[in-house]
Amino acid sequence: MAKARNGAEPSFKDVARLLEKGSCVLCSLLKRFQSACIQNASADRVQHLCSFHTWALAGAANTDVAAGIFLHVLELREMRLDIGGVPRCSLCEQIAEEEAERSNDFVLLLKNAEFRAWLDRYGALCVPHASRLLKRVPTGDRAVLTSLVQNTAARLKGELRCCTGHPEDRRSASALSRAAEYLEGRRGLAIKDCQ
């Protein structure tokens, strides 16, 4: 059986405190990781930025740190002008690596009865993550993922039907956000679109 990043089996108790009920399990973890990457970014770890992460750093990072990163990236771009091509965003690469590791953990945790019970009660997966995971899990675990996606869709359909005719209800905005996440993944995690 594959091991988690530190060589040990992933523990549901370790992951459970990070999960958001009703949100895609992987999107929730990746959004936290991305926020930490932005807050802890440094010029020595950032070589290139996509549009999203450039603006995220401008708005969320310490001014001194962001200025140092932008100076570093500008200097690297000046050196690359004659080479052509645009390298991939350094933060997107870190997030893609984390996504691969967390996806591995998710597949391993599917064997944990406590995790499966949590998924049945509170869990959700967005369509993009479910599609990727279905290609990786053993055949016997595919039914769990399919059921999770179907249950999430049914719950969202019910919420969206309740929103119809009640646009001023605060729950409507929340239901729309959850539906958008389910269909496309968490806002601001555009790994597949990044260069």
Residue 37 is assigned to a structural domain of this protein: yes
Residue 12 is assigned to a structural domain of this protein: no
Mean pLDDT of the chain: 81
Residue 6 is assigned to a structural domain of this protein: no
The amino acid at residue 47 is Q
Spatial separation of the C-alpha atoms in residues 145 and 187, rounded to whole Å: 22
Instruction: Calculate the alpha carbon distances from 193 to 28, 50, 186 in Å.
Output: 19, 9, 13
The answer for residues whose C-beta is within 8 angstroms of residue 16's C-beta and 6 or more apart is 118
Other beta carbons less than 10 A from residue 90's beta carbon: 19
The amino acid at residue 96 is A
Residue 171 is assigned to a structural domain of this protein: yes
Please state the pTM of the whole predicted model. 0.78
For 190, the token pair is 């555009």
Residue 52 is assigned to a structural domain of this protein: yes
- Residue 164 DSSP symbol: T
pLDDT average, residue stretch 79-107: 82
Total tally of structural domains belonging to the chain: 1
| pLDDT value of position 169 | 65
**pLDDT tops 90 at residue 95:** yes
**pLDDT tops 90 at residue 164:** no
The amino acid at residue 51 is S
pLDDT average, residue stretch 86-93: 85
Domain that holds residue 113: 21-193
Spatial separation of the C-alpha atoms in residues 5 and 14, rounded to whole Å: 13
| pLDDT value of position 119 | 85
pLDDT average, residue stretch 122-137: 89
| pLDDT value of position 8 | 57
pLDDT average, residue stretch 76-95: 76
Confidence of residue 185 (pLDDT cuts 50, 70, 90): confident
Is the Cβ–Cβ distance between 9 and 108 less than 8 Å? yes
| pLDDT value of position 133 | 92
The answer for residues whose C-beta is within 8 angstroms of residue 173's C-beta and 6 or more apart is none
Residue 9 is assigned to a structural domain of this protein: no
Angle between helices 90-109 and 127-134 (to 10 degrees): 60
Spatial separation of the C-alpha atoms in residues 12 and 113, rounded to whole Å: 9
Spatial separation of the C-alpha atoms in residues 42 and 68, rounded to whole Å: 8
Residue 142 is assigned to a structural domain of this protein: yes
What is residue 124's three-state secondary structure?
Answer: strand
Residue 28 is assigned to a structural domain of this protein: yes
Confidence of residue 47 (pLDDT cuts 50, 70, 90): confident
